[in-house]
Amino acid sequence: MTETDQEESAGLSPVPLMEISTGFWASKTLAAAHELDLFSYLSCEGPAGLERLATRFGLHARPTEILLTACVSLGLLEKSGEVYANSPLAEKYLVRGKPEYFGGWIEMADRREYPAWGRVMDALRNNQPTTWDPAQQQGIFDGEDPVMLSVFWEAMHSLSTGTAKVLGRTLDLSGVRRLLDVGGGSGAFGIELCGRYPELRADVFELPFVCDLAEKKIAQAGMGSRVGTVPGNFQTDTSLPTEYDAVLLSLVLHDWDEDDGRALIRKCFSALPPGGLLIISELLVNDDKTGPADAALMSMNMLIENWGRNYTAAEYAQWLSEAGFTEVRTVRFTAPGANGAITAHKP
């Protein structure tokens, strides 16, 4: 048997490499269709044929057909005869104004992260982010273009909304009355969790300008009486607000290095009362650091975005124990921005 025969019998093929290397084909197809507002148009106007869609978007017939065929192949559209309509996936998540609209993340990934990933070798060689310039900026938001900043926070809201729904179903928070969402961005977690638990009230602890953004989202959701904001900086403030029986760190710790992460956990410990609950929600890397791919690749994304990486449940457990927490537990689930939560109590 030749070496080639042995490889074929073992199931070896370059096909997986082809799929990996061309992954951006699918992401750019999705981004282009979203930028055209194809999904929102079909949702509003109903199924349409190629000619009508080409006219609506000002495209030639050839690229329109190519795009539509690609979207059908990706499960974004459905085709019946010569007419195209949104798939259930697109109708639920890609139509502007829908409660679980995910387009903010798609736009951010395309406009902010895709160009920065083109310089990933710079990030690897220099150990510095490429979405912003540490030589010219003090932090990720310093001097950022207002339009891009708006895209960034809309993306975080998209990602957090879906993740918060799963977290709320997975963890039993019925005993929690006051929750502090540290680094809570637009308030998506507070909105979703308070919507699920009638006795819960939540506050978002964020930078002042982010609090302004959060207050708009909170008002739009009709949750102003249940979800509030507290301006602050969890990195530079010496302490966190108290009088909360639970603190949430969701999609926060992966942004920062180990020293900053440990310091923030210590602040959470000091702020909580005895019996208080800390929740860490993240894409967790396996303890043996072999995957999973979504967590490992998000860690690569942290390389181009900031100073952190995605950590393991064992690493978080060690940090929590060193800070004084007990009853450390890992709960696994599947969500857009996280695959698990670490919970711990202050004795």
How deeply is 16 buried, as exposed, middle or buried, from its count of CB atoms within 10 A (0-12, 13-18, 19+)?
A: exposed
What's the CA gap between 137 and 157, in Å, rounded? Answer: 24
What's the CA gap between 149 and 24, in Å, rounded? Answer: 23
In tens, the pLDDT along 21-52 reads: 999 999 999 999 999 999 999 999 999 999 99
What's the CA gap between 324 and 317, in Å, rounded? Answer: 11
In tens, the pLDDT along 336-346 reads: 999 999 999 99
What's the CA gap between 186 and 154, in Å, rounded? Answer: 8
**292 preceded by a cis bond (ω within 30 of 0):** yes
Does residue 5 have a pLDDT over 90? no
CATH 1.10.3720.10 is held by the domain 3-93: no
Over range 205-221, report the average pLDDT: 95
What's the CA gap between 65 and 53, in Å, rounded? Answer: 9
Yes or no: say if 215 and 192 are a contact pair by the CB < 8 Å rule: no
What's the CA gap between 85 and 105, in Å, rounded? Answer: 22
| Domain chopping of the chain, boundaries | 3-93, 158-345
Residue 157 annotated among the catalytic residues of the structure: no
Q: Do domains 3-93 and 158-345 have the same CATH topology?
A: no
Q: DSSP of 176-242, one letter per residue?
A: --EEEEET-TTSHHHHHHHHH-TT-EEEEEE-HHHHHHHHHHHHHTT-TTTEEEEE--TTTSSS---
Across the chain, what does the average pLDDT equal?
A: 95
Residue 329: strand, helix, or coil: strand
Does residue 223 have a pLDDT over 80? yes
What is the architecture, at CATH level 2, of domain 158-345? 3-Layer(aba) Sandwich (3.40)
Please pick, among 34, 157, 254, 345, the residue that the annotation labels catalytic.
254
Yes or no: say if 313 and 328 are a contact pair by the CB < 8 Å rule: no
Full-model pTM: 0.92
